[in-house]
Amino acid sequence: MHHVASDANSRDKQDALETFDTRYKRLVKDGCKRLEKCSLEFAWGAEYTEPMTQSIRWLQDEIADRMLQKLDIVKLDVKDVLIIPDYPGKHLGALSKRFPGAKLISVADQDVSSFQLWRAKAIGNLRSLFSGSISPFSSYASSGKLNVPDNSVDLIFSDLLLQDLADPKHFLQECWRVLREGGLITFSYLGPDTGKELRLQSLEGLKLKNLLSPWDMHDMGDALLGERFSDPVMDMEYLTLEYEKLDLLLKDADALKLLDITPPVAIKNDVLPQKLTLEVVYGHAWVIGKHLAKPKDNIAYVDVNQIGRKTRSDSA
């Protein structure tokens, strides 16, 4: 009996030390585990099934972390954040901590279900469940329009997306539309040197392809200025992935959309390189002067209603 009482007292002390936030996260996580064992019918009538996680999700997490570090030096008052593409990752908690009280608006990655994203938000931050929203990336892909009103967000966080868009300029135009005056877009994408080892060799039986939008950082900087963004800052780094197993290299190359067939055909191990280079481009730019018309022929046109007028006394 003495040991039972001692154990009970120990548990009471442990519970008392837990904060409300810790208890809540534990409860939500336990609840989500129970829900995963069931098939759920949601309000929109779709049955939840767990999709396979793409093999480069770890890469998105790593690059998102580097983007957040670069964001540390930026001073920004944020009420609404648009994350495109969004997925369960550490960035959700980091953004909620950096901008407490901000609404997280998510455009879910193609292989992420709304339930997966809802679960990740629930574990990361209770408030984001009630103040944010989730829409599928397929909606933007089909319509070319973000499901967000004009002038409604302060920050756009886009991790490894632009290289997969057929028209990055149109995406920048949509970002300009939804950002408020003084808002910021921060992004990362894969540059044209990604997977250069594969292109340097003649690989029989393996058909390669370029990234859909193989822009280098200079192309992106010019595009940002062309779409009226201000003070763009661009930088780039090379990451090298080394492989011991051939099949893993092929899976990553396929996930990076460097191969023209899925699944890849069988290839001799001594033909393929043992590494892949990733050119990762980072950038951010501001929205300043939204009331100004887009310049034409190096001339900016201003609406007469935007011109202030001063009056002065005619007294001698």
Residue 304 lies in a domain: no
d(CA 16, CA 224): 53
Tokens 């005619």 appear where? 314
Residue 114 lies in a domain: yes
Does residue 4 surpass a pLDDT of 90? no
Helix (H) or strand (E) segment spanning residue 67: helix 57-71
Residue 60 lies in a domain: yes
Q: Which of 101, 111, 96 is nearest to 255 (CA)?
A: 111
**What's the average model confidence in pLDDT over 279-296?**
86
pLDDT digit string, tens, across residues 60-108: 999 999 999 999 989 899 999 999 998 887 888 888 889 988 999 988 8
Residue 298 lies in a domain: no
Report pLDDT for 55.
Answer: 59
pLDDT digit string, tens, across residues 142-180: 999 999 999 999 999 999 999 999 999 999 999 999 999
d(CA 32, CA 118): 10
Q: Which of 124, 120, 80, 137 is nearest to 104 (CA)?
A: 80
d(CA 297, CA 36): 58
Residue 133 lies in a domain: yes
pLDDT digit string, tens, across residues 177-203: 999 999 999 999 999 999 998 887 766
Q: How confident is the model at residue 281 (pLDDT cuts 50, 70, 90)?
A: very high
Quote the tokens at residue 109: 């990655």
Residue 308 lies in a domain: no
What DSSP designation does 266 have?
A: P
Give this prediction's pTM. Answer: 0.73
Preceding peptide of 263 cis, ω within 30°: yes
* CATH assignment at residue 152: 3.40.50.150
Residue 305 lies in a domain: no
Q: How many domains does the chain have?
A: 1
Residue 236 lies in a domain: yes
Report pLDDT for 145.
Answer: 94
* Dihedral (CA of 297, 299, 304, 305) sign: positive
Report pLDDT for 41.
Answer: 30
Find the domain containing 172 and state its range: 2-45+55-290
Tokens 């595009």 appear where? 223
